[in-house]
Amino acid sequence: MLRDGDATFQTTDFLERIGKVKARQAAADDALRSEFDIYEREAAEHTLELVYRHLYMLRQSVQVMHDMPDEEIIPILRAKVRDHGGATKFCAAVRRFAGLELDPDWIEELIEEDEADHPAASVSPLLKSALVGLSAGMNVNSANISRRAAGGLDAEMGGES
């Protein structure tokens, strides 16, 4: 694990946020195990539903950096694959933005093993590089789109583009 001050701000922020959400998840899990009142049970189930959505949103939107802990890589991968519409489209995006070739069958296998509680012993450096490259490439693409849009606005308003 990383020591304080060793992590990038993106990783530190992600780990702080996900830590808070996981604490809410643990509290709701405890409540489900101990509460028998129907209203408390429904409240705990609702909280868990919100927690799962929040975890997905955090993992789907995180900018993966080189220092992301391995235990978060596969859950992040699952969210990003789902967000792209499947392993094939995810691999195409990695090829386009990161310039790396990944096998969609391998990606699906990693996700399935993790869901079956048989996580990989260690995260492949190729997979981590692909997620880092995808995040960086998508950010550059977003910046280019914003720059072009701003240039278009300048031209519409009589400025230089």
If one compares 55 and 144, the residue with the highest pLDDT of the two is 55
- Is-above-0.75 flag for pTM? no
CA distance linking residue 136 with residue 10, whole number of Å: 12
CB 32 within 8 A of CB 49: no
**Per-residue pLDDT averaged across 24-46, rounded?**
88
- Give the per-residue pLDDT at 156: 52
**Which span out of 8-12, 55-59, 142-146 was modeled with the highest average pLDDT?**
55-59
User: Around Cβ 161, how many Cβ atoms within 10 Å?
Assistant: 11
User: Around Cβ 105, how many Cβ atoms within 10 Å?
Assistant: 11
CA distance linking residue 111 with residue 95, whole number of Å: 19
DSSP annotation of 122 = S
Mean pLDDT of the chain: 82
Residue with tokens 């790396």: 100
CB 32 within 8 A of CB 41: yes
| Residue 88 pLDDT level (bands cut at 50, 70, 90) | very high
Name which of 1-5, 84-88, 113-117, 136-140 the model is least confident about.
1-5
CA distance linking residue 94 with residue 75, whole number of Å: 17
Helix (H, G, I), strand (E, B) or coil at 101: coil
Among 138, 135, 120, residue whose Cα is nearest residue 59: 135
Residue 144 reports pLDDT greater than 80: no
- Give the per-residue pLDDT at 152: 56
Residue 157 reports pLDDT greater than 80: no
- Cα distances from 12 to residues 23, 63, 67, 82, in angstroms, run 17, 11, 9, 24
Residue 153 reports pLDDT greater than 90: no
HSE-CB at 151 with a 13 A cutoff on CA atoms is 7
- Give the per-residue pLDDT at 1: 47
